[in-house]
Amino acid sequence: MPRGVSCLGSPEGEDGRYETPPASELQRLMWTKKGTSGHLDEVQPRIYIGDMYAAKDKRTLQAHHITHVLNAADGKFNVNTGPGFYRDTRITYHGVEAFDMPSFSLSPFFYPAGNFIKTALSSPTGKVFVHCAMGLSRSSTLVLAYLMIHERMTLVDAIKAVGANRNISPNNGFLEQLRELDKKLHYQGSPRRRT
């Protein structure tokens, strides 16, 4: 079998070890998923991804018992909510002023955003809503990074896990940054969970 994705979808090198697949294979993996594109979808237990409409609908967030909001499109030229918007709720807010452009460097936010998600989930009742404008690129990139860093998933497994519950589409630049994170985590030699 050639290097890359095997017939079972497991990316392995010649020695049987995991290798980060090329971006084209990762995109194909996202295109073949049956996820939805609702305003708010649970993509992992207590982790939701969605769009700006759900972010601005405090009633819906409260109905889902959301305790934390991570806005991956923070700022006045994006989805301008902020902690003041949620002041009449018990929601803890964290904003990342990111732009959905392949040239934007989102990787400096991988660990701070991942830590925010981990903190949200450290409470047994914590639920985190991660959003951007459409809930496809910036938000999904940060959730994938969280799963890779804190849940020790490979990029392929993270895409499969999230994509099974929501259509996601990190832009090409973000996908490359996730591939770099995957390689960095892989080459550290720490074992990671395979699903």
Residue 27 is predicted with a pLDDT of 87
Q: Considering the entire predicted model, what is its pTM?
A: 0.87
Residue 187 is predicted with a pLDDT of 73
Helix (H) or strand (E) holding 48: strand 47-50
In this structure, are residues 133 and 52 in contact, taking their beta carbons and an 8 Å threshold?
A: yes
Residues of the chain with pLDDT under 70: 1-16, 31-36, 188-195
At 92, which amino acid appears?
T
Q: What Å distances lie between residue 42 and 129, 141, 188, 190, CA to CA?
A: 9, 15, 30, 28
At 97, which amino acid appears?
E
The region, left, alpha or beta by phi > 0 then psi within -120 to 50, assigned to residue 4 is left
Domain ranges of the chain: 40-187
Radius of gyration of the chain measured on its C-alpha atoms: 16
Residue position matching structure tokens 């960095």: 184
Residue 8 is predicted with a pLDDT of 34
- Looking at the domain covering 40-187, what would its CATH class be? alpha beta
Q: Which residues contact 147 (CB under 8 A, 6 or more apart)?
A: 44, 153, 157, 158, 161, 162
Catalytic entry in 132, 147, 149, 185? 132
Tell me, yes or no, if 7 is annotated catalytic. Answer: no
Residue 33 is predicted with a pLDDT of 54
The region, left, alpha or beta by phi > 0 then psi within -120 to 50, assigned to residue 155 is alpha
